[in-house]
Structure formats: structure tokens, C-alpha cells
Chain A
Amino acid sequence: MGQGVLMEPSLEPSRAGSGADTRFISVVVPVVERADDLLALYLSFAAELDSRGEEHEFVFVFDGGFSPPPELSALSQERVNLRFLRFARAFGETAALRLGIERSRGDVILTLPAYFQVRPEGVGMLLEALSDETDMVVANRSPRIDGWLNRLQSVAFNRMIAGVTDRPFHDIACGVRVMRRTVAEGLPLYGDLHRFIPALALREGYRVTEVAVPQHPGNARTRLYGPGVYARRLLDLAAFFFLAKFTEKPLRFFGLVGSGFFLAGAVTSLVLLVNRIEGQGIANRPLLLLAVLLLALGVQLLGLGLIGEIIVHLRAPHRRAYRVRERT
């Protein structure tokens, strides 16, 4: 991840300290992998925000290989609050979101996929739900109007994630989310974690609400991906699971698995030893190879866990697992 791009200091001053009634909404649109007609997208969502009297800006972040369509570029000449950022090569959605968040000015961030996922009025419903009681509002496309195959995939993915998060989400893959700037900046966003934003926020101690939002008809097309895409989702899930459970105690994971392997190897060796004493030859038995492999793996995993522990320990003075919400 060439995240050096993200370290560039933001030039725009942030609009801090604005009153509660005059909020400014930054719509961050990562244009990654898939894009609908961006002009139509911009016009319909901007119209919705305008009709609600919300002050807003749109920040489109184009991943490598994407560029603003000419009509949208023309429009940006006359509208100050329509801005484009562009990666020189593909960095992915997480990096695009981070850049968009960093370079936007609003005290409320609305993330929007570059294609129609929800109907524009759904955004209004999310903004209404963002109150003092919640820090992030995520859309739950409901009722679903797409085919059974889409729904099946969605349900399967959400079920798997629900096993890992503190609280089940019904539509965690939906990219339409509203959050306060402080929340957006507090999220540990890197790698491919953007899919888990609600779960990350929850883990950081923010209050996350789900709001049912009507799905856009354009989102109903059946999607079937290649096996590589599903494999990557599973890896993302495994990464998130590991981060959620074991970042503070790697040896709990590596030690458990490693000592399991080592014990299995020791037992296998013992069986072989008994066989040998009984007079059987053991050198030509595959079991010997297995025993050797298990012992070696066990030692390796334990060693890796210890390295993890040392690194965690040395970083401890700068890290805190808690976040204070209220003080009296």
C-alpha cells in the first residue's frame, strides 16, 4: 500500500467548531472497480441534499485507471463544492476513503459508492438518524428488490461477519454511511478493512445505528464474481477476525495452535517409539514424516507468537484499548 500519498498534509482548513445547526456535509465517493453514470449520481444526490437545505461538498476519489467523465469535469468548473482527487495507480477503496476523508472539510462525512446502491432519499433518512446519541449511521438496504442470488450472497457474507463482530449487522457491505468527522478520523482504516467500517467503529467504542433504506433499482442487477473475489473476501474476514481477537495477545492464537501441533507431533513420535521397542521398523513409515512435520510446525508457530508478543509489548506505552465516551 503506497500510503505515502495519504500522509500529505491536508491543505484545506477544517471547519471545526461550527454550530450544531449549520453542519457541513462532505460526500466522499471512492470510484473504485465499478462506476455508474457519475453525473447522474452526483446530480440526484446533490439535489436530495439541496432539497433538505444541507450545506455540502462532493469529493470524488478516482482510483488508478478511472478519471472524471467530461460532463462532470465541466460541471466542476462552475461548482466549487465538487472536487476530484485522483490516485496515479490503483490503491483500492480503503485508501480512497482515507484520502477523501482527509481532504474533505465537512464535520459530517457521508460515504457513497460510485454506483446507485440506495435511492437518493435514503441519504436523508441517514442524516436524520445521526443525532447526539449515535456516532455513525449505516444503511441497510431493505427491502431488497434484487434477485435471490444477490440476497443469498449478502446474507452469507453478513452471517459470517456477524460471527466475528460484537453485534450482528444486516448489510455491512453497503457503502452508504454517515459519520462525524472525529469518528471517521479515529477509524483504523488500512488494508482492505473498508468493508468492516461499522464493525471497526463499534470496536472503537462508537455508537453505530442501522437504518433501513430503500434500495435503488439500478442495484438489483445480479452480480456473480470470479472465485478470486470470494477468496479475497474470505481472507479479509480472516484478517479482521485475527485483528479483532488477537492484536493484543498474539500468543493466545499462535501458542494454542502451535502447542496443539507440537503435542500431536510428540504423541505421534511416542507411538512410533513404542512400535520400535516392540520390534517394528519405523523408518519407512509415513507417520514418521508426519511426526517430524508436526514438531517443526509447532516450534515455528510458538516462535512466531513470541515475536508478536514482544512487538506488542514494546508498543504498549503508546496504545490504549479503551476510548472514553463521557466524563464527569
Chain B
Amino acid sequence: MVSIPPPGRATDQLDLSVVAPLYNESQNVGPLVEWILEALAGYSGSFEVILVDDGSRDDTWARVAAASASDPRVRGLGLGQNVGQTAAMMAGFDHARGRVVVSLDGDLQNDPRDIPALLAKLDEGYDLVCGWRQQRQDKFLLRKVPSWVANRIIRRLTGVQITDNGCSLKAYRRDLLDRISLYAEQHRFIPALSASVGARITEMPVRHHARRFGESKYGISRTVKVLVDLLTLKMITTFHSRPLLGFGTLAVPMVVGALLFAAMAVVAALEFQPSKAEALVFPGAALLCAGAAFYLLMLGLVAEVALNSERESANEIPTAWEVR
């Protein structure tokens, strides 16, 4: 973990940056660059392609460097070690000079020919356009079912109506990227995180291809992790500026339980004659719930105190957009 501020943005702004993270995609580098340049041949503005090598163990970096040498619009970014897709994308975003940034997978499963359509959609007045993979070319049980379940839960929990959160093909406005800092494995939650800072979000269908070279880097084990991450997401999108409220919400069922058990204790004491030891169960349960509620509220206070110093630097003002 590095505690340095992200690199200062270059002053020479471009219209568009295309960011693609690559991990052990040696065979895909050449076709990917070719494809992107082909897709952008009709693009009128200035653009750059940023290939982020996420500490690959094969010769991905050599290919990236070669591609960069043959076309000045292609830039390579070699990371010191494998840091995962989110951090690699963040590296690309930090170094991107475009007023609009498009991210896509480095494995050729996204189709760069969709980029112009995404840009057109963005111009309709959105800050984030998410791709929605049509006829997804992945294994059904291992990839599609978990993804379908995860997307449903994400929609329910965050209220952000994006069908396909896992699609890497997205177009962002620079202003939005300046407002969100992705870490851990948050690339899946970009729509929800963007919505929490007030971005205008939409989605559109994009093409999806089967993998041509290399191997998928995902497995089913990540689904469990995604569920834990969802709890985090809920906490930070809803309560990060007022943790006491979050912990208070968690404490509500505890308080209800405490009252319920207390009532039962009273009823039990009045209605029947339990053995002496038996009389402890209901009051005990009531005390446990009350204790947990109290503990959660205290934690909420600790969070408030801990955050106080961080707040100064944190971005507390929600994003507002200039209306023309």
C-alpha cells in the first residue's frame, strides 16, 4: 500500500482515453490494440490507449512496449507486481488524460467496436455508461448463474438499476473518476459507488465474445467474497458520512429483541411458576440483546470519532452537475 497522492494529471488533455488492464494476456495484446485502433479509426477527437500490465509473468509487458513503440497513441503502464483488476484499472484511470475514459477487458471478450456507441450515449447527458453483455459467451454454471444472482442482490441492495455490473466495458466522464477511489475489488461496484456520489448512470447492450487466447482468471470462490463485499458496499455508500446512523440501524433489531424478551420475562414470571434456574433464560436473553444494541451504538460513536480527523480531507460535498 502506497501513501502517495495519485500522479498529477497531465495538462495536455485529450478527448478520450481507452484503458485496458492486462494480466498474462501476451497473445491478446497485439489483436487488442489492432482492434481498438480499428474501432476508433473514424473517431474525430484526440485519443490514447493505455495498456496496464498488472505484473504479468509472461511476456505481456514486452508486447505492450512493442505496441507502444509502433504507435505513439498507445501508452504502456507496467506495474511492479500483480495487484488485481481494480488497482490496475485505477492505475490506468490515474494516468489517463482523456476528458472521457473508456475501460475494457484485455482478453478480447469486450468488443471495441462498441466504444463509439458508448460515447454517443455519454453525450446524451450521462456520467457513466455501463455495457450490458448480450449473449454472454461464458460457462453457464460457473460464470453466468453466480453473476446473475450477484447482480440481482446488488440491484436490490443498492437500488441502482444496472443489469450487468460485471461488464468491464464502461465509459466514464473524468469528473466522475475524480470523485471515486476504487480499492480492494470494487470494480464490480462501480455503478453503485458512482450513484452514491450522485452520478447519472445508464446502460446499453454491448457485444461479448468467447475467449480466444489464454485462460479465465476467475473462479466460483469469488462469489462468496462478493457477498461479504456487498455488506461493505452498503455500509460505505449509505453510511460512510454518518456511521452512527448505520450502527444505530443495526442496533434496532437488537432493541426490538431486548424488549420482546423482557416482555416474555414479565409474562413468564406472572403466568407460570418456573423453577428458579428457568427464570433466568428470558431476562438473560433480554440482557444479551440490550448489550449488543448498546455495544453497536458505542461502536458507532467510535467510528464517528475515528472519522472526525479524516473528514477534513474526505470529499463530503456530493457531486452536482452543471445544467445547461
Contacts and interface: CB of A to CB of B under 8 A. Distances in A.
A319 B313 CA distance: 13
B303 A328 contact: no
B299 A320 contact: no
Contact of A328 (B1, B75, B94): B75
Contacts of A129: none
Contacts, number: 173
A300 B295 contact: yes
Interface of A: 166, 186, 188, 202-207, 247-249, 251-252, 255-256, 281-284, 288, 292, 295-296, 299-300, 303-304, 306-307, 309-328
B279 A283 contact: yes
Contacts of B39: none
The 7 closest A-B pairs by CB, nearest first: A205-B80, A326-B78, A316-B181, A328-B76, A321-B87, A328-B68, A283-B277
Contacts of A288: 281, 284
B240 A310 contact: yes
Given A283-B277, A310-B236, A322-B91, A256 B228 contact: yes
A307 B3 CA distance: 20
Contacts of B69: 328
A326 B76 contact: yes
B205 interface: no
Nearest to B302: A307
A203 B87 CA distance: 14
User: Chain A interface secondary structure, helix, strand, loop or mixed?
Assistant: helix
A205 B228 contact: no
A269 to B, nearest CB: 9
Given A249-B229, A252-B228, A326-B76, A311 B302 contact: no
Nearest to A311: B306
A249 B185 contact: yes
A313 B183 CA distance: 8
Given A251-B231, A311-B306, A322 B295 contact: no
A315 B314 CA distance: 8
Interface in B33-85: 55, 61, 64-65, 68-69, 75-81, 83-84
Contact of A284 (B3, B80, B231, B277): B277
Contacts of B225: 252
B130 interface: no
Contacts of A311: 303, 306-307, 310
A322 B90 contact: yes
B149 interface: no
B87 A327 contact: no
B65, B68, B181, B284: most-surrounded residue (chain A CB, <10 A): B181
A324 B228 CA distance: 29
A256, A292, A315, A322: most-surrounded residue (chain B CB, <10 A): A322
B280 A283 contact: yes
A318 B315 CA distance: 11
A310 B307 contact: yes
B317 interface: no
B4 A320 contact: yes
Interface string B201-245: 000000000000000000000000100110110011001100100
A314 B236 CA distance: 9
A321 B186 CA distance: 13
B2 A319 contact: yes
25 contacts: A186-B2, A204-B81, A248-B184, A252-B228, A255-B231, A283-B278, A283-B281, A292-B288, A295-B288, A306-B231, A306-B246, A310-B307, A313-B236, A314-B310, A314-B311, A314-B314, A316-B181, A319-B183, A320-B2, A324-B80, A324-B95, A325-B78, A325-B79, A326-B78, A328-B76
